[in-house]
Amino acid sequence: MEKIRLGIIGIGNMGSGHAARIKAGNCPDFVLSAVADINPARLDWAKKELGEEVKRFGTAEEMLSSGEIDACIVAVPHYDHPKYVIECLKKGIHVMCEKPAGVYTKQVIEMNEEAKKHPEVVFGMMFNQRTNCVYKKMRELVQSGKYGQIRRTNWIITDWYRPQAYFDSGSWRATWSGEGGGVLLNQAPHNLDLWQWICGMPVKISAHMKFGKWHDIEVEDDVTAYCEYENGATGVFITTTGDAKGTNRFEIQLDKAKIVADYSGLSVLEFDMPEPEFSRTNTVPFGNMGAHKLDLDLDGSNPQHDGVLRAWGGAILRGEPLVAHGSEGIYGLTISNAMHLSAWLGKETDLREFDPELFYSELQKRVATSRRKTNVREQVADTSSTYAGNK
Protein backbone atom coordinates (compact mmCIF):
# COMPACT_ATOMS: atom_id res chain seq x y z
CA MET A 1 0.00 0.00 0.00
CA GLU A 2 1.72 3.20 -1.17
CA LYS A 3 -0.97 5.59 0.04
CA ILE A 4 -3.72 5.13 2.58
CA ARG A 5 -7.10 6.05 1.14
CA LEU A 6 -8.71 8.26 3.79
CA GLY A 7 -12.35 9.05 4.45
CA ILE A 8 -13.75 11.63 6.85
CA ILE A 9 -17.15 11.41 8.54
CA GLY A 10 -18.32 14.95 9.28
CA ILE A 11 -16.84 17.92 7.42
CA GLY A 12 -17.60 20.85 9.66
CA ASN A 13 -14.82 22.79 11.36
CA MET A 14 -12.78 19.82 12.50
CA GLY A 15 -13.45 17.54 9.55
CA SER A 16 -12.76 20.26 6.99
CA GLY A 17 -9.55 21.13 8.83
CA HIS A 18 -8.40 17.53 8.56
CA ALA A 19 -9.37 17.48 4.89
CA ALA A 20 -7.32 20.62 4.27
CA ARG A 21 -4.17 19.23 5.90
CA ILE A 22 -4.41 16.00 3.91
CA LYS A 23 -4.98 17.89 0.65
CA ALA A 24 -2.02 20.15 1.47
CA GLY A 25 0.26 17.12 1.78
CA ASN A 26 0.98 17.59 5.48
CA CYS A 27 0.43 13.87 6.08
CA PRO A 28 2.06 12.19 3.06
CA ASP A 29 0.98 8.62 3.89
CA PHE A 30 -2.64 9.60 3.17
CA VAL A 31 -4.68 10.59 0.16
CA LEU A 32 -8.16 12.02 0.72
CA SER A 33 -10.55 9.70 -1.11
CA ALA A 34 -13.99 10.42 0.33
CA VAL A 35 -16.06 12.43 2.79
CA ALA A 36 -19.49 11.84 4.30
CA ASP A 37 -22.01 14.30 5.70
CA ILE A 38 -25.80 14.35 5.83
CA ASN A 39 -25.85 18.12 5.39
CA PRO A 40 -26.07 18.76 1.60
CA ALA A 41 -24.50 22.19 2.02
CA ARG A 42 -21.33 20.61 3.37
CA LEU A 43 -21.20 18.18 0.46
CA ASP A 44 -21.52 21.15 -1.90
CA TRP A 45 -18.65 22.78 -0.05
CA ALA A 46 -16.59 19.58 -0.42
CA LYS A 47 -17.23 19.47 -4.17
CA LYS A 48 -16.02 23.03 -4.55
CA GLU A 49 -13.11 23.03 -2.11
CA LEU A 50 -11.83 19.45 -2.22
CA GLY A 51 -12.32 18.67 -5.89
CA GLU A 52 -14.28 16.15 -7.92
CA GLU A 53 -11.74 13.41 -7.22
CA VAL A 54 -12.87 13.26 -3.57
CA LYS A 55 -16.03 11.17 -3.51
CA ARG A 56 -18.97 12.47 -1.49
CA PHE A 57 -21.50 10.39 0.42
CA GLY A 58 -24.75 11.41 2.07
CA THR A 59 -24.29 9.02 4.98
CA ALA A 60 -21.36 7.53 6.83
CA GLU A 61 -22.74 4.05 6.24
CA GLU A 62 -22.59 4.51 2.47
CA MET A 63 -18.96 5.60 2.60
CA LEU A 64 -17.90 2.83 4.97
CA SER A 65 -19.46 0.21 2.68
CA SER A 66 -18.15 1.70 -0.56
CA GLY A 67 -14.72 0.08 -0.65
CA GLU A 68 -13.26 3.51 -1.38
CA ILE A 69 -11.36 3.97 1.89
CA ASP A 70 -8.79 2.14 4.01
CA ALA A 71 -8.92 4.50 7.00
CA CYS A 72 -11.41 6.96 8.46
CA ILE A 73 -11.45 10.01 10.72
CA VAL A 74 -14.58 10.28 12.88
CA ALA A 75 -15.38 13.99 13.40
CA VAL A 76 -19.06 13.89 14.40
CA PRO A 77 -20.99 15.11 17.48
CA HIS A 78 -19.76 13.55 20.70
CA TYR A 79 -22.58 11.08 21.19
CA ASP A 80 -21.83 9.38 17.87
CA HIS A 81 -18.05 8.97 18.24
CA PRO A 82 -18.26 5.37 19.56
CA LYS A 83 -20.98 4.42 17.08
CA TYR A 84 -18.92 5.19 14.01
CA VAL A 85 -15.65 3.96 15.49
CA ILE A 86 -17.35 0.61 16.07
CA GLU A 87 -18.64 0.58 12.49
CA CYS A 88 -15.11 1.17 11.21
CA LEU A 89 -13.69 -1.55 13.46
CA LYS A 90 -16.22 -4.10 12.26
CA LYS A 91 -15.43 -3.30 8.63
CA GLY A 92 -11.66 -3.52 9.13
CA ILE A 93 -11.18 0.20 8.45
CA HIS A 94 -8.41 1.91 10.41
CA VAL A 95 -9.97 4.65 12.49
CA MET A 96 -8.99 7.91 14.18
CA CYS A 97 -11.50 9.30 16.67
CA GLU A 98 -11.77 12.99 17.42
CA LYS A 99 -11.92 13.87 21.10
CA PRO A 100 -13.71 13.18 23.36
CA ALA A 101 -13.97 9.40 23.06
CA GLY A 102 -17.68 9.74 23.79
CA VAL A 103 -20.09 11.37 26.19
CA TYR A 104 -20.33 8.63 28.80
CA THR A 105 -17.98 5.81 29.75
CA LYS A 106 -20.60 3.10 29.23
CA GLN A 107 -20.50 3.62 25.46
CA VAL A 108 -16.70 3.99 25.39
CA ILE A 109 -16.26 0.71 27.28
CA GLU A 110 -18.30 -0.94 24.52
CA MET A 111 -16.14 0.73 21.89
CA ASN A 112 -12.92 -0.44 23.54
CA GLU A 113 -14.24 -3.98 23.88
CA GLU A 114 -14.99 -4.03 20.16
CA ALA A 115 -11.48 -2.76 19.42
CA LYS A 116 -9.99 -5.76 21.25
CA LYS A 117 -11.72 -8.01 18.71
CA HIS A 118 -9.94 -6.30 15.81
CA PRO A 119 -6.23 -6.01 16.65
CA GLU A 120 -5.43 -5.64 12.96
CA VAL A 121 -7.26 -2.29 12.87
CA VAL A 122 -5.13 0.70 13.90
CA PHE A 123 -7.31 2.72 16.27
CA GLY A 124 -6.10 6.16 17.33
CA MET A 125 -7.40 9.04 19.42
CA MET A 126 -6.91 12.67 18.38
CA PHE A 127 -5.03 13.85 21.45
CA ASN A 128 -2.95 16.35 19.52
CA GLN A 129 -1.75 18.21 22.63
CA ARG A 130 0.39 15.17 23.45
CA THR A 131 2.63 16.20 20.55
CA ASN A 132 3.62 19.46 22.29
CA CYS A 133 7.25 19.20 23.43
CA VAL A 134 6.38 21.01 26.68
CA TYR A 135 3.87 18.35 27.78
CA LYS A 136 6.03 15.52 26.46
CA LYS A 137 8.91 16.78 28.62
CA MET A 138 6.67 17.19 31.66
CA ARG A 139 5.57 13.58 31.32
CA GLU A 140 9.15 12.40 30.88
CA LEU A 141 10.30 14.21 34.02
CA VAL A 142 7.38 13.11 36.19
CA GLN A 143 7.27 9.50 35.00
CA SER A 144 11.05 9.05 35.31
CA GLY A 145 10.77 9.06 39.11
CA LYS A 146 13.97 11.10 39.46
CA TYR A 147 12.12 13.77 41.43
CA GLY A 148 10.25 11.40 43.69
CA GLN A 149 6.51 11.32 44.20
CA ILE A 150 3.93 13.87 43.14
CA ARG A 151 2.75 15.93 46.09
CA ARG A 152 0.34 18.34 44.41
CA THR A 153 -0.98 19.21 40.95
CA ASN A 154 -2.68 22.47 40.02
CA TRP A 155 -4.04 23.34 36.60
CA ILE A 156 -5.90 26.57 36.03
CA ILE A 157 -7.02 26.44 32.42
CA THR A 158 -9.38 29.35 31.96
CA ASP A 159 -8.32 30.58 28.52
CA TRP A 160 -11.09 28.58 26.83
CA TYR A 161 -13.14 31.77 26.56
CA ARG A 162 -16.21 31.58 24.31
CA PRO A 163 -18.77 34.38 23.70
CA GLN A 164 -22.50 33.71 23.46
CA ALA A 165 -22.30 33.78 19.65
CA TYR A 166 -20.21 30.61 19.76
CA PHE A 167 -22.97 28.71 21.55
CA ASP A 168 -25.61 30.21 19.26
CA SER A 169 -23.79 28.91 16.16
CA GLY A 170 -25.41 25.45 16.30
CA SER A 171 -28.53 24.07 17.97
CA TRP A 172 -26.63 21.03 19.25
CA ARG A 173 -24.09 23.12 21.13
CA ALA A 174 -24.09 23.35 24.93
CA THR A 175 -27.14 21.10 25.39
CA TRP A 176 -27.38 17.82 27.27
CA SER A 177 -29.13 16.11 24.36
CA GLY A 178 -26.96 17.52 21.59
CA GLU A 179 -23.49 17.75 23.08
CA GLY A 180 -23.72 15.94 26.39
CA GLY A 181 -21.79 18.48 28.41
CA GLY A 182 -20.02 21.82 28.37
CA VAL A 183 -16.44 22.93 28.87
CA LEU A 184 -15.36 19.54 30.27
CA LEU A 185 -16.60 17.67 27.22
CA ASN A 186 -15.90 20.19 24.48
CA GLN A 187 -12.86 22.32 25.28
CA ALA A 188 -11.06 20.66 28.20
CA PRO A 189 -10.78 16.97 27.15
CA HIS A 190 -7.24 17.72 25.98
CA ASN A 191 -6.33 19.05 29.42
CA LEU A 192 -8.00 16.19 31.25
CA ASP A 193 -6.09 13.74 29.05
CA LEU A 194 -2.76 15.50 29.62
CA TRP A 195 -3.43 15.75 33.36
CA GLN A 196 -3.80 11.97 33.71
CA TRP A 197 -1.17 11.17 31.02
CA ILE A 198 1.45 13.15 32.91
CA CYS A 199 0.38 12.68 36.55
CA GLY A 200 -1.64 9.47 36.53
CA MET A 201 -5.30 8.92 37.33
CA PRO A 202 -6.72 10.38 40.54
CA VAL A 203 -8.70 8.08 42.79
CA LYS A 204 -11.17 10.60 44.20
CA ILE A 205 -12.86 13.70 42.75
CA SER A 206 -14.97 16.43 44.33
CA ALA A 207 -16.30 19.02 41.89
CA HIS A 208 -18.30 22.22 42.02
CA MET A 209 -19.90 23.38 38.78
CA LYS A 210 -22.06 26.21 37.56
CA PHE A 211 -24.41 25.45 34.69
CA GLY A 212 -25.07 28.39 32.38
CA LYS A 213 -23.39 30.80 34.78
CA TRP A 214 -21.75 32.98 32.14
CA HIS A 215 -23.82 32.08 29.06
CA ASP A 216 -27.39 31.27 28.05
CA ILE A 217 -26.69 27.52 27.98
CA GLU A 218 -27.78 24.51 30.04
CA VAL A 219 -24.43 22.76 30.56
CA GLU A 220 -21.40 23.59 32.70
CA ASP A 221 -19.33 26.67 31.89
CA ASP A 222 -17.51 27.01 35.23
CA VAL A 223 -15.74 24.14 37.03
CA THR A 224 -13.55 23.83 40.12
CA ALA A 225 -12.51 20.30 41.05
CA TYR A 226 -10.38 18.83 43.83
CA CYS A 227 -8.80 15.41 43.50
CA GLU A 228 -6.75 12.93 45.50
CA TYR A 229 -4.20 10.42 44.19
CA GLU A 230 -3.36 6.93 45.41
CA ASN A 231 -0.24 8.16 47.22
CA GLY A 232 -2.17 10.87 49.08
CA ALA A 233 -1.17 13.72 46.78
CA THR A 234 -3.86 16.27 45.95
CA GLY A 235 -4.78 18.32 42.91
CA VAL A 236 -7.01 21.12 41.71
CA PHE A 237 -8.42 21.56 38.19
CA ILE A 238 -10.15 24.83 37.30
CA THR A 239 -11.68 25.61 33.93
CA THR A 240 -14.31 27.85 32.36
CA THR A 241 -15.47 29.37 29.09
CA GLY A 242 -16.39 32.61 30.87
CA ASP A 243 -13.04 34.26 31.64
CA ALA A 244 -12.00 36.79 29.01
CA LYS A 245 -8.20 36.75 28.68
CA GLY A 246 -7.98 33.73 30.97
CA THR A 247 -4.97 31.81 32.25
CA ASN A 248 -3.21 28.54 31.41
CA ARG A 249 -0.83 27.45 34.17
CA PHE A 250 -0.07 23.82 35.00
CA GLU A 251 2.04 23.26 38.14
CA ILE A 252 3.31 19.97 39.55
CA GLN A 253 5.02 19.82 42.94
CA LEU A 254 7.20 16.75 43.56
CA ASP A 255 9.53 15.69 46.38
CA LYS A 256 12.56 17.17 44.64
CA ALA A 257 11.27 19.65 42.04
CA LYS A 258 8.59 22.08 40.99
CA ILE A 259 7.55 21.92 37.34
CA VAL A 260 5.50 24.70 35.75
CA ALA A 261 4.08 25.04 32.25
CA ASP A 262 2.56 28.37 31.27
CA TYR A 263 2.67 30.90 28.43
CA SER A 264 6.41 31.40 28.94
CA GLY A 265 7.07 27.71 28.32
CA LEU A 266 8.32 25.05 30.72
CA SER A 267 10.38 25.65 33.84
CA VAL A 268 11.83 23.20 36.34
CA LEU A 269 13.11 24.24 39.77
CA GLU A 270 15.25 21.36 41.04
CA PHE A 271 15.75 21.13 44.80
CA ASP A 272 19.19 20.38 46.27
CA MET A 273 17.65 17.56 48.30
CA PRO A 274 14.22 15.96 48.55
CA GLU A 275 11.81 17.94 50.72
CA PRO A 276 11.13 15.02 53.11
CA GLU A 277 14.85 14.69 53.80
CA PHE A 278 15.31 18.44 54.27
CA SER A 279 12.35 18.71 56.61
CA ARG A 280 13.65 15.81 58.68
CA THR A 281 17.25 17.06 59.00
CA ASN A 282 16.93 20.85 58.94
CA THR A 283 17.25 22.65 62.30
CA VAL A 284 16.41 26.21 61.20
CA PRO A 285 12.75 27.13 61.98
CA PHE A 286 12.26 29.13 58.79
CA GLY A 287 14.76 27.21 56.73
CA ASN A 288 14.26 26.19 53.13
CA MET A 289 16.38 23.98 50.91
CA GLY A 290 18.48 25.36 48.11
CA ALA A 291 17.28 25.01 44.54
CA HIS A 292 18.39 25.79 41.02
CA LYS A 293 16.63 26.28 37.73
CA LEU A 294 17.20 23.45 35.29
CA ASP A 295 18.35 24.10 31.75
CA LEU A 296 15.87 22.15 29.63
CA ASP A 297 16.55 20.57 26.29
CA LEU A 298 13.33 21.06 24.33
CA ASP A 299 13.25 20.51 20.59
CA GLY A 300 10.49 23.07 20.07
CA SER A 301 8.28 20.59 18.26
CA ASN A 302 4.51 20.95 18.40
CA PRO A 303 3.03 19.30 15.27
CA GLN A 304 -0.47 18.97 16.76
CA HIS A 305 -3.04 17.35 14.42
CA ASP A 306 -0.48 16.81 11.67
CA GLY A 307 1.73 14.93 14.11
CA VAL A 308 -1.10 12.67 15.27
CA LEU A 309 -2.10 11.84 11.69
CA ARG A 310 1.48 11.25 10.56
CA ALA A 311 2.01 8.86 13.46
CA TRP A 312 -1.24 7.10 12.60
CA GLY A 313 -0.11 6.67 9.01
CA GLY A 314 3.22 5.32 10.21
CA ALA A 315 1.42 2.87 12.49
CA ILE A 316 -0.76 1.62 9.63
CA LEU A 317 2.03 1.24 7.08
CA ARG A 318 5.15 0.58 9.15
CA GLY A 319 4.06 -0.46 12.63
CA GLU A 320 5.30 2.76 14.21
CA PRO A 321 3.87 3.97 17.55
CA LEU A 322 0.70 6.04 17.77
CA VAL A 323 0.55 9.32 19.66
CA ALA A 324 -2.45 7.88 21.55
CA HIS A 325 -4.22 4.57 21.12
CA GLY A 326 -7.98 4.89 20.85
CA SER A 327 -8.54 2.92 24.04
CA GLU A 328 -6.84 5.70 26.03
CA GLY A 329 -9.76 8.03 25.47
CA ILE A 330 -11.63 6.52 28.39
CA TYR A 331 -9.26 7.91 31.03
CA GLY A 332 -9.94 11.63 30.63
CA LEU A 333 -13.63 10.90 30.03
CA THR A 334 -13.80 8.96 33.29
CA ILE A 335 -12.44 12.01 35.12
CA SER A 336 -14.97 14.24 33.34
CA ASN A 337 -17.87 11.89 34.14
CA ALA A 338 -16.70 11.66 37.76
CA MET A 339 -16.64 15.46 38.03
CA HIS A 340 -20.17 15.72 36.66
CA LEU A 341 -21.43 13.00 38.98
CA SER A 342 -19.85 14.69 41.99
CA ALA A 343 -21.46 18.03 41.11
CA TRP A 344 -24.86 16.49 40.36
CA LEU A 345 -25.00 14.39 43.53
CA GLY A 346 -23.20 16.85 45.78
CA LYS A 347 -20.64 14.37 47.04
CA GLU A 348 -17.22 12.94 46.33
CA THR A 349 -16.81 10.41 43.52
CA ASP A 350 -14.43 7.50 44.06
CA LEU A 351 -13.03 6.63 40.63
CA ARG A 352 -12.05 3.15 41.81
CA GLU A 353 -15.75 2.44 42.28
CA PHE A 354 -17.05 4.58 39.43
CA ASP A 355 -20.43 3.33 38.21
CA PRO A 356 -20.98 3.91 34.46
CA GLU A 357 -24.67 3.00 34.80
CA LEU A 358 -25.25 5.60 37.54
CA PHE A 359 -23.63 8.31 35.46
CA TYR A 360 -25.67 7.32 32.42
CA SER A 361 -28.88 7.40 34.46
CA GLU A 362 -28.12 10.87 35.82
CA LEU A 363 -27.20 12.13 32.36
CA GLN A 364 -30.48 10.88 30.91
CA LYS A 365 -32.41 12.87 33.52
CA ARG A 366 -30.84 16.00 32.09
CA VAL A 367 -31.27 14.90 28.48
CA ALA A 368 -35.00 14.43 29.16
CA THR A 369 -35.39 18.10 30.09
CA SER A 370 -32.89 19.46 27.56
CA ARG A 371 -33.94 22.53 25.62
CA ARG A 372 -32.94 20.73 22.45
CA LYS A 373 -35.64 18.14 21.89
CA THR A 374 -34.96 17.63 18.18
CA ASN A 375 -32.98 14.79 16.66
CA VAL A 376 -29.26 15.05 17.28
CA ARG A 377 -28.60 14.76 13.56
CA GLU A 378 -30.94 17.49 12.40
CA GLN A 379 -29.41 19.88 9.91
CA VAL A 380 -28.02 23.09 11.36
CA ALA A 381 -26.56 26.19 9.79
CA ASP A 382 -24.90 25.69 6.42
CA THR A 383 -21.54 26.79 7.86
CA SER A 384 -21.51 23.81 10.23
CA SER A 385 -21.66 20.12 9.53
CA THR A 386 -24.55 18.22 11.06
CA TYR A 387 -21.99 15.58 11.86
CA ALA A 388 -19.21 17.87 12.91
CA GLY A 389 -17.96 17.71 16.47
CA ASN A 390 -16.63 21.24 16.02
CA LYS A 391 -14.69 22.53 18.97
CA distance 230 to 245: 35
Q: Please report the pLDDT score of residue 390 as a whole number.
A: 41
Q: Please report the pLDDT score of residue 170 as a whole number.
A: 84
pLDDT at 391 over 60: no
C-alpha of 167 from chain center = 19
CA distance 167 to 31: 33
Q: Please report the pLDDT score of residue 376 as a whole number.
A: 36
CA distance 243 to 215: 11
Q: Please report the pLDDT score of residue 381 as a whole number.
A: 29
Q: Please report the pLDDT score of residue 371 as a whole number.
A: 86
Count of beta carbons in the 10 Å neighbourhood of residue 106:
18
pLDDT at 315 over 70: yes
- For 154-191, what is each residue's pLDDT tens digit? 999 999 999 999 999 888 889 999 999 999 999 999 99
Q: Among 173, 214, 191, 155, which residue's Cα sits nearest to residue 336? A: 191
CA distance 129 to 136: 9
Helix (H) or strand (E) holding 245: none
CA distance 341 to 327: 22
Query: Quick one: CATH architecture of 4-128+304-326?
Result: 3-Layer(aba) Sandwich (3.40)
* CATH for the stretch 130-254+332-368: 3.30.360.10
Q: Please report the pLDDT score of residue 172 as a whole number.
A: 86
Exposure string over 25-64, b if 16+ CB within 10 A, otherwise e: ebbebbbbbbbbbbbebbbebbeeebeeebbbbeebeebb
Helix/strand/coil for 57: strand
- For 248-300, what is each residue's pLDDT tens digit? 999 999 999 999 999 999 999 999 999 999 999 999 999 999 999 999 989 99
User: Region 79-94: what's the mean pLDDT?
Assistant: 98
pLDDT at 75 over 70: yes
User: Region 326-340: what's the mean pLDDT?
Assistant: 98
Are the C-beta atoms of residues 379 and 171 closer than 8 Å to each other?
no
Q: What is the CA radius of gyration of the chain?
A: 22
pLDDT at 323 over 60: yes
State what percent of residues in the chain have pLDDT above 70: 95
pLDDT at 385 over 50: no
Pairing state between β 71-74 and 94-97: parallel
Q: Is the dihedral of CA 49, 53, 59, 64 positive or negative?
A: negative
Domain spans, the chain: 4-128+304-326, 130-254+332-368
Task: Write down the pTM of the prediction.
Answer: 0.94
pLDDT at 389 over 90: no
State what percent of residues in the chain have pLDDT above 90: 92
Q: Which residues contact 67 (CB under 8 A, 6 or more apart)?
A: none
